[in-house]
Amino acid sequence: MKIRIKKIFENFKEKPDAIIIKNTSENLIDSNFFYVTGLEKGLFEGCAAILFPDGKLDIIVSRLESETAKRANENIKIFENHEEFNIHLKNCVQGCGAIGLNFNGLSYRDYQDLSTVLSGYSFVDVYDALSKTRMFKDELELSFIKKAVDISDKVMNKIPEIIKDGMFEYELAAEINYLIKKLGADKPAFDTISSFGKNSAEPHYTNGETKLKKGDFVLCDFGACFKRYNSDITRTFVFGCASNKQKKMFETVLNAQKKAFEMMKPGITGKQIHNAVDEFINKSDFKGCFIHSTGHSLGLGVHDGSAGLSPISDVKLEKNMVLTVEPGVYIPGFGGVRIEDDILVTSDGIEILSKTPRHLIEI
């Protein structure tokens, strides 16, 4: 973890003397806490990690999390109450000047508390430095991501065996979630999407009480979370025989994704890739039917770091970035097609991590 911490500080023009990563409650836990500690288990509500330019790390944890925290093999300070937490915090940063805070992962109440406890210190936002560092995955991170992708591939390949006439969307989602866990993941990476028919035209629909019938699109978008690292893949099937329109939609999306794959290499920007994919789809019969970005970065977060394939991304692809590539075509009232894969940028191109077949499968 020392190397990761040093790299974070290398991404500053003017380095702060320390960085505090502060967790709040369960709904506001900063994933950077786990990035710098390497901890895979535990919730760590109200806990903090304090980083220093030489790679040193202090972790302030509640008694509840103390045994789990020992796995980090770092300088651990245990608190029983809020007052003890503040004492540890002041001792950790004693003698520092500028202190970095992740303004993107800190509640306003925590900011007020830190401003009171550490009055006299100046605070700087470290979100950009954290984000830039996390764009590039080390070997341990890549091993976890590849395992998460492998689990998702195995689940996706099972779907044609699971789908049956009259099943509900929520039933398919439950089967997917069960298999994700059964195959070794900690949990699904996000709310599983299993949409039938016209519901597949809503990119973030998740699932509901719609019954499957012949001729429906079946769009499945899910990921596995393995040791806190995520995968994210999508396939679109047709239950029964695909119509000419469905086939044309699928072919358009598949070719758009191939175009993105062919363009991706170090030095090209996310904006260049997205614009080329968008232009390709707009020259087809489905102009205006691609309504989201072509892809996003992937890692500890399902949307991880500042890299992405969007119309506003000037970030250049570099080796060891992990991203999704997910063009789509959506027609309200009819249905949608999305094909999504996870890729690793290499020194001269990409490695497609997800191996599930991309051709149209009629079930």
Question: What's the pLDDT score for residue 73?
Answer: 82
Do 328 and 310 share a domain, yes or no? yes
Residue 286: what are its φ and ψ, rounded to 5°?
Answer: -120, 40
Do 125 and 144 share a domain, yes or no? no
CATH label of the domain that carries residue 130:
3.40.350.10
CA angle 262/134/156 to nearest 5° reads 55
Residue 361 lies in a domain: no
For helices 2-10 and 127-134, the axis angle rounded to 10 degrees is 120
What Rg, from alpha-carbon coordinates, does the chain have? 22
For helices 108-117 and 82-92, the axis angle rounded to 10 degrees is 60
When pLDDT is averaged across residues 179-194 and rounded to a whole number, the result is 98
Question: What's the pLDDT score for residue 30?
Answer: 94
Question: What's the pLDDT score for residue 346?
Answer: 98
Q: How many Å separate Cα 173 from the centre of its chain?
A: 19
Do 148 and 256 share a domain, yes or no? yes
Q: Tell me the sheet residues that pair with 187.
A: 225
Q: Among the three residues 134, 152, 176, which one is the final residue of a domain in this structure?
A: 134
Do 191 and 309 share a domain, yes or no? yes
Q: Helices marked H in the chain — which ranges?
A: 2-10, 31-37, 66-69, 82-92, 108-117, 127-134, 139-162, 169-182, 244-263, 270-282
Question: In whole angstroms, how far apart are CA 320 and each of 49, 88, 135, 349?
Answer: 26, 37, 8, 11
Give me the number of domains the chain comprises. 2
**Would you place residue 214 in the very low, low, confident or very high pLDDT band (cuts 50, 70, 90)?**
very high
Q: How many Å separate Cα 195 from the centre of its chain?
A: 21
Q: What is the three-class DSSP state of 125? A: strand
Q: What is the three-class DSSP state of 337? A: strand
Do 157 and 238 share a domain, yes or no? yes
Residue 286 lies in a domain: yes
Q: Among the three residues 115, 134, 153, which one is the final residue of a domain in this structure?
A: 134
When pLDDT is averaged across residues 217-244 and rounded to a whole number, the result is 98
Q: How many CB atoms lie within 10 A of CB 148?
A: 30
Do 105 and 167 share a domain, yes or no? no
**Would you place residue 13 in the very low, low, confident or very high pLDDT band (cuts 50, 70, 90)?**
confident
When pLDDT is averaged across residues 213-227 and rounded to a whole number, the result is 98
Question: How many angstroms separate the CA atoms of 21 and 115, rounded?
Answer: 14
For 101-126, letters b (16+ CB in 10 Å) and e give bbeebbeeebeebbeeebeebebeeb
Do 215 and 344 share a domain, yes or no? yes
User: For residue 12, with 0-12 CB atoms within 10 Å meaning exposed, 13-18 middle and 19 or more buried, which class applies?
Assistant: middle
For 180-195, letters b (16+ CB in 10 Å) and e give beebebbebbbebbbb
Query: 341: domain range?
Result: 139-352
| Residues making up the chain, counted from first to last | 363
**Would you place residue 167 in the very low, low, confident or very high pLDDT band (cuts 50, 70, 90)?**
very high
Is a pLDDT exceeding 80 seen at residue 306?
no
Q: How many CB atoms lie within 10 A of CB 267?
A: 8
Do 126 and 146 share a domain, yes or no? no
Do 178 and 235 share a domain, yes or no? yes
Type of residue numbered 10: E
Question: How many angstroms separate the CA atoms of 213 and 201, rounded?
Answer: 16
Do 165 and 229 share a domain, yes or no? yes
Question: What's the pLDDT score for residue 305?
Answer: 75
Residue 226 lies in a domain: yes
Do 302 and 189 share a domain, yes or no? yes
Question: What's the pLDDT score for residue 294?
Answer: 98
State the chain's mean pLDDT as an integer: 96
CATH label of the domain that carries residue 203:
3.90.230.10
- 114, two tokens: 């830190």
Do 38 and 175 share a domain, yes or no? no
Q: Among the three residues 80, 101, 134, which one is the final residue of a domain in this structure?
A: 134
